[in-house]
Amino acid sequence: MELQRQKHLVLILAREFASNLSTPTLLTDADGNLVFYNEAAESVLGRRFSEVEETGLDDWLAGFEARTLDSQPVPPDQRPGRVALDQRRPSHLRYLTTSVDGVEREIEVTAFPLFAHTDEFVGVVVIFWRD
């Protein structure tokens, strides 16, 4: 039987907060594992959260084709979620994406790191806007 690691209280509170938002919101833990996304994000991401297993951010993002507004590929390390995870700083980008449901969308994404204390990184919050 596999032991499930306890989530940090800040992630638990962030999930509760995100679940009550009408703004599409996604959470990862400090290792970049997808922890949660809310119902509002399901329409942007093209899949219900209940259909997704906890997985690494890179594996999960592989299902999305991200392109600049002039259709140039956006490297994974330049996407806001990856910037917030790797560099522990906020990031924002507007781009085109084709999600797992095959629908192309123009979205804006803002991501920022979550810290429990000044030096205790616990995860990332990613917020999506679409026109």
Q: What is the CATH number of the domain that holds 102?
A: 3.30.450.20
According to DSSP H, which parts of the chain are helical?
9-19, 39-45, 57-61, 80-87
Q: What is the pLDDT of residue 1?
A: 44
90 band by pLDDT with thresholds 50, 70 and 90: very high
Residue 118 belongs to what domain range? Answer: 9-130
Residue 47 sits at φ, ψ, to 5 deg, of -160, 145
Residue 72 lies in a domain: yes
Q: Total domain count for the chain?
A: 1
In a domain, 87, yes or no: yes
12 — pLDDT class (breaks 50, 70, 90): very high
Identity of the highest mean pLDDT range in 33-47, 55-69, 73-87: 73-87
Mean pLDDT of 100-123: 90
Distance CA 98, CA 18 (A): 23
Q: Residues 62-82: pLDDT tens digits? A: 777 889 999 999 998 999 999
